[in-house]
Amino acid sequence: MPGFHFTLRHTAPGGARLGELRTPRGIVHTPAFMPVGTNATVKALTFDDVRALGAEIVLANTFHLYLRPGVEVIRRAGGLHRFMGWDGPVLTDSGGFQVFSLAKLRRVSDEGVVFRSPLDGGEHAWTPERVMEIQRGLGSDLIMPLDVCLGYPAADADAAEALRITALWAQRSRAVGGAEEQMLFGIVQGGFSAALRAEAADRMVALGFPGYAVGGLSVGEPRALAYALLEAVTARLPADAPRYLMGVGGPPDLLEAAARGVDMFDCVLPTRVARTGTIFTRTGRVNVRNARYRDDHTPPDPDCRCAVCARYTRAYVRHLFHADEMLGPRLATYHNLAFLAALMGEAREAIAADRFEGWRRGVLDAYATSW
């Protein structure tokens, strides 16, 4: 794994961490939010936009890209970076979450998982080894092993069995590895029991990965439970490896998780809600479609310095949404991701200055609307 290195720069009194993940394609300053480009595009944006709004790393989706356009097309294009026009680091998930969300999931065994494509009904057999091979074909930088994902609630017996298979697959994934220039994370599952989460963390640490992801949270469980489980996990992870909380992206959740020592996040929420007109502000979410913004000639978020807030008004963005114009989702998406990039930048400054807890409390107090 040459070219990758995680440096923990500072740990704030409460546990929040300031770090740098060096990769062959650039440095990621953590805590970092990673925009999601499911189909090799962050919906409505170019990767020039993504760079301009302040992101240093993006996600793409192994499951979606495997089904369409297919890994061979991307391999022949020269890899995912060249295919989609982004030269920074890319993290691909394993596709486990998507496979286990399918209604037509056929069969899970120790060997792997057989599923039907939601696009054409075709049957596909994935093993942990195959998923590593797919990600080698994509040429992403940070890669994930196949894992078993559960919804909420889940019985402890089911969670224990999922943990057993996930650990087995992690071991096999680690044995085959990615390409030389890929960094393979271990994924900590374990359902909704702190004991199983702790066991999952211990088993992954015993296998030894250069980075650890926490999966299977933010799937409907109470927030307090998610935070408790997260704490149970991060307490057992080595300090010198980056920690990635999968699928979390609401502004308050990011701060709560960063406070518990998480370094990296991804979520479709900021971009998904943007496409319905919801924009993040420091006082909470605003739906710009609302009639009250018809004649509001102020920026979408008056406290934001992004290119969208510098040029456009709520009245204009509202008009775009009501006229069903693509520029509406585009501008809202740009702003929401710029908002999170700026928020993470402030978090890093606060951690560096040992004032993270006070800063976080101030931000959460101002963020008044429901999460």
Q: Which chain residues interact with its own copies by CB under 8 A?
A: 39-41, 43-46, 64, 68-69, 73, 76-78, 83-85, 294-295, 297, 311-313, 315-316, 318-320, 322-323, 325-327, 329-331
Minimum CB–partner distance for residue 275 and its own copies (Å): 9
Nearer to its own copies, 255 or 331 (CB): 331
Residue with Cβ nearer its own copies (48 or 240): 48
**Cβ nearer to its own copies, comparing 65 with 340:** 65
**Closer by beta carbon to its own copies, 13 or else 85:** 85
Write down the least CB distance from residue 152 to its own copies, Å: 29
Residues sharing a CB contact under 8 Å with residue 200, sequence separation 6 or more, in sequence order: 163, 166, 167, 188, 189, 190, 233
Cis omega before residue 302 (within 30°)? no
Q: How far is CA 43 from the centre of its chain?
A: 15
Cα separations (Å) of 131 from 2, 217, 308? 21, 22, 38
Strand partners, 248: none
DSSP secondary structure letters along 155-201: -HHHHHHHHHHHHHHHHHHHHH---TT-EEEEEE--TT-HHHHHHHH
CA dihedral over 53, 330, 343, 28, signed as positive or negative: negative
Cα–Cα distance, 305 to 339 (Å, whole number):
9
Rounded (5°) CA angle 128-130-132:
70
Kindly state the smallest distance separating residue 209's Cβ from its own copies, in Å. 31
| Beta carbon nearer to its own copies, 16 or 274 | 274
- Smallest separation, CB 232 to its own copies (Å): 38
For residues 155 and 148, is the Cβ–Cβ distance under 8 A?
Answer: no
Whether the CB-CB separation of 186 and 209 falls below 8 Å is answered with yes
Least gap, CB of 87 to its own copies (angstroms) = 11
DSSP 282: T
Q: How far is the CB of 315 from its own copies (least distance, A)?
A: 6
Give the residue with the Cβ less far from its own copies, 324 or 365. 324
CA atoms within 13 A on the CB side of 163: 25
Cβ atoms of residues 193 and 149 within 8 Å: no
| Identity of the amino acid at 172 | R
Instruction: Return the active site residues.
Output: 93, 266
